[in-house]
Amino acid sequence: MHRLPFDSLKAGDKLAKSVFSHEGRKLLPVGTVVNEDHLNILYENNINDVYIEDDNSCFINLPRAYCEDTQKQAKMLMEQHLESRSLVPPVNNPKVKDTICKIMDEMLGSEDIITCLANMKFLDEYTFEHSLNVCLLSLVMGIGIGYNLRRLEDLGVGAILHDVGKLRIPESILKKPAKLTDEEFEEIKKHTIYGYKILKENKDISMISAFIAIGHHERYDGSGYPLHIKRNNIHECARIVAVADVFDALSTDRVYRKKMKLNEVIEYITDFSTNYFDRDIVNNFVGCLPLYQVGTGVILNTGERGLVANANKVMPTRPVVKIIYNRKGIKLKRNYKIDLTKKSNVLIEGVCEL
């Protein structure tokens, strides 16, 4: 969509945003196909410009100051994540942190990328922050896999712009507070294709980044969208971003659901690593998570409490637990161990002091 002066508006143009009078009264709803009567309404209400849908452009001509503010906010959020260790997994290695900072400075210095981010922020604050989080998580995974700087840059650009295609989705669908209809969900799915086209048309952006946009909702078993491709037919960078995308989405509060606990998110991702995700990428990711270190006090869903006796790098939510207190809260004279990999119905509910 783009902003169009009233003098250039013509019958047949489709509104990308609702039009309101200067008093706040809705004149025309989003999606209206303009006719002569509509032009008269806009003229009589002194409307100077409107937003229209345009297949050739999904970007709004935002003020330069807005783009500069977006750039500053993006850099500030990145620095806060890295310094406060709010990112999971945390970036403790100085070399890893320096590499991420170098890549982020490079990306956030690009006018094209900032234009995309500013438009995404203008459309939806959540999508903006989610994109930054997914980028950081993806870079951590890429470094863990051993990507060189050039590949990390392509991964970072694709990750931070993986949802750029949402700029071509009608706002009425994207921000709908209720459950989407089947037709609306099919429209949402198109953001992967739109994103691919947007990035592919930019000569300064690698095709790897475009492959991420179209592939981050594909699943390892072919059950994803839009192409329903499987396994190694999905670009490896897209498989990385798929994990980061789901991890951040489940870790964040939304209007329609509460965020999941860290152990629940990891449990979900590891459980579906055979069907949905690349198991090697998931294993690399969860291996970095400082979830339940040896000696950590935990409480089980059975009511029992104990200490982590052996950490599990492959399945970090299922360590071996040495039981100190039984389900009635009575301290045991003889302790015993539970291997949670062998007790699928027993889960850690949280960390506790013993």
Q: Look at the block and give the residue holding tokens 């979830």.
A: 291
Task: For the chain, give every domain's residue range.
Answer: 2-52, 64-286, 297-351
Q: String of b and e for 122-156 (b: at least 16 CB within 10 Å)?
A: bbbebbbbbbbbbbbbbbbbbbbbebeeebbbbbb
Q: What is the pLDDT of residue 301?
A: 93
Q: What is the pLDDT of residue 92?
A: 62
Give the Å distances, CA to CA, from 106 to 27, 223, 350: 43, 35, 39
DSSP E strand boundaries for the chain: 2-5, 19-20, 26-28, 49-52, 297-300, 305-310, 320-325, 331-339, 348-351
Q: What is the pLDDT of residue 61?
A: 64
CA dist., res. 282 & res. 61, Å (int)? 39
Confidence (pTM): 0.73
Let me know if 73 is exposed, middle or buried by CB neighbors in 10 A (0-12, 13-18, 19+).
middle
**The CATH number of domain 2-52, selected from 3.40.605.10, 1.20.210.10, 3.90.105.10, 3.30.70.20:** 3.90.105.10
Coil, helix or strand at residue 125? helix
**The CATH number of domain 64-286, selected from 3.30.230.10, 1.50.10.10, 1.10.3430.10, 1.10.3210.10:** 1.10.3210.10
- Ranges of residues in the chain with a pLDDT under 70 are 1-3, 54-61, 83-93, 255-256, 290
Q: What is the pLDDT of residue 312?
A: 81
Q: What is the pLDDT of residue 60?
A: 61
Would you put residue 31 in left (φ > 0), alpha (ψ -120 to 50) or beta? Answer: left
Q: What is the pLDDT of residue 5?
A: 79
